[in-house]
Structure 1
């Protein structure tokens, strides 16, 4: 993204006009201003609001001006600042991409995105990226003989059922789906399904709503002792009370409510490689209609996935 900004490769109205297109040059948000690259990313009132809400440390020593190269240079220099955390270094770069995405949603889909939601989305995505990075580094540094990583499906204790869940989220359309599969102590599928999720604004929110649907599907089947397992470590930490995310407060309350309906319940994190069945159910199953659920007659593709998803005794 930074390279495209510096090389003037962002297709704003002013840039497209220089390439021969006959279009208006004004910004779609503020008609009195020309839509330059610098305006969209730094000077537009919408962009300014996003930057202010992000509370990024670079704004303490710099105010974005009319010089695009100077603004980008400051972002690059801040990345070299050893006093900043990795998250603080990544925020400005991530915000540029999200601000540009929000502009495209407005131009092509007439969708007005909230500046506060953009900031929350950036924070969640960066945290998920850092967690993934840390998991990868930990996995690399630990000798194989001493490594215990939940990267395969592990059978629950006797009398306990395990429900794996996952979500799919399209960042362009904000369409989301959830998938789940319930298995017993022997790894035998008891029920599985998928559902379209409504009013979702981020991948993290999609994961939380997929968990809620999974919990409801388990409850209506009368199962009381459960392990819920997903591959979003951020969500699992939030549900277990290790972290707090302001954009998940209402959903966490809903999850707590449904948790009270079970005799025993655990929320566990597993890597994507061990959550492949739920991942594929979320991604591919809900083609027709808004909801799909079965407990008998596994399709061949599901049988193959379950067989590949070997478990540790």
Structure 2
């Protein structure tokens, strides 16, 4: 790999070539050390060919697939920082990598192992991972096709998931469908005291009692009132997360919309594949 002789724009130390950007930069080292693979990238060779040989020799099977997804996520996040005005955050990069790993699993590229299952888990948004947590998301395109999905975990173990698709008037209505699908599934399974996480600010604010119905698309005005009443009658609470921390539900909702998938299950082996 030919050196560009340009200083790294993130750490101002070292030449900003591929090896430095993806492994030797201080941000990259923190990313790899915090990843489920726990790679000490500062101990890897500086020569690109020797570095790849060391990685290939240390990884195998699904671990190598996970490694490839982490490389791509780190590069995407680095580009977003340098050219999109984002702030480099290790967890943002890792969340993106979890999304890529989850998408790879959905398309049947590798089997779930304990390492990959750990990679799919979420960093706790609370002091402990105890309790039920549900991630929801909706997907929408300009033709009016929608998809929605939810995943419920407890202690980073999948408890239940579900997907659906249909015609919707807006991204908000797709998100609303995801919430409704999740609550129906939890009611059937008699699951209570669950925190539901969404990356839709309007929906989260409504569920937390704010009177902002003027922000709701008129096509689903009455539907959202019914869903909120059902939510208030339950034992659930709602929390807002950003898209980067909701990648599993995001990818699953997109998958349901594009492939017109209705599915449900209680383990990773139940998840739909192409």
TM-score, normalised to structure 2, is 0.49
TM-score, normalised to structure 1, is 0.43
The structure whose RCO (Cα within 8 Å, separation 6+) is larger is 2
Which of 1 and 2 has greater Rg?
1
